[in-house]
Amino acid sequence: MRRRGVAAAVLAEAAHGYDLVVVGASDGRHGGLFGPVADAVVRSAPCAVFVLRAPDWRGGDIPLRRILLPTTGTRADLRGAEFALTLARGAGAAVVALHVVESHPLGSPFGGAAAADLRGATEIGWHATRAVAQLGASLGVPVTPEVRLGAGLTAADEIVHLARDTACDLILLAGEPRPADGELYCGRTLSQVVRAARGPVAVLFEGTGRSAAEGAAGA
């Protein structure tokens, strides 16, 4: 009940013309993707929501020297890229724009068709990551485009491994809530990254367009 009250209060305040609400994720012991309060805010906020999960945070600033930005080239990912690049410019950080091509070589008997699909998916990945690099250049932010073939690994595995191997200080993703019987679900990859990453993970959500009164009633 107390957590519902906190979420309702945040949603009511968010209705006063804010462009962005920033919330912290819980430690995962209370269920949900980010915890009951953050999940409720994401589901019902009338504006954009930025959720930060920092499992080992002990207070103070989180150093930002390198940000890992997974992207597939969607409109939501582009908005996430704009946010990440603005954040990086303010912190003097670099960005790694990552696209993962999931490949399951034993999943199809049609080797030639699978190879052509793989080439096409890889080209899409380079297009998406280079678009981020071009945007970064216009803002004065160094961006390294990276396309990885996740042979035998999921996209989430590749994201988490690259963040660790390249000493990224933050993984930043764009999220889109999907219907899931009242629970916050944002797709397999995002959910797996949030739960598996050892370092800080941030997710940027657009507002749902619902009013704060509706959100407070359903929180």
DSSP letters, 71-135, are: --S-HHHHHHHHHHHHHHHHHT-EEEEEEEEEE-TTS-S-HHHHHHHHHHHHHHHHHHHHHHHHH
Task: Write out the two tokens for 50.
Answer: 């930025």
pLDDT tens string, the chain, 219 residues long: the values are 466 799 999 999 999 999 999 999 986 666 789 999 999 999 999 999 999 999 877 667 788 999 999 999 998 899 999 999 999 999 999 999 999 998 765 555 545 557 788 888 999 999 999 999 999 999 999 999 999 987 778 999 999 999 999 999 999 999 988 867 778 889 999 999 999 999 999 999 987 544 333 433 343
Residues of the chain with CATH 3.40.50.620: 63-199
Q: What is the pLDDT of residue 183?
A: 82
Q: What is the pLDDT of residue 139?
A: 97
Q: Which of 20, 54, 14, 61 is nearest to 34 (CA)?
A: 54
Q: Which of 192, 209, 210, 212 is nearest to 201 (CA)?
A: 192
Burial of residue 167 (CB within 10 Å: 0-12, 13-18, 19+) is: exposed
**Separation between Cα atoms, residue 49 and residue 134, nearest integer Å:** 26
Q: What is the pLDDT of residue 7?
A: 92
Q: What is the pLDDT of residue 200?
A: 95
98 with 146: CB under 8 angstroms?
yes
Q: What is the pLDDT of residue 211?
A: 38
Element spanning 195, H or E: helix 188-196
CATH number for the domain formed by residue range(s) 63-199: 3.40.50.620
**Separation between Cα atoms, residue 64 and residue 155, nearest integer Å:** 23
pTM of the model: 0.85
73 with 101: CB under 8 angstroms?
no
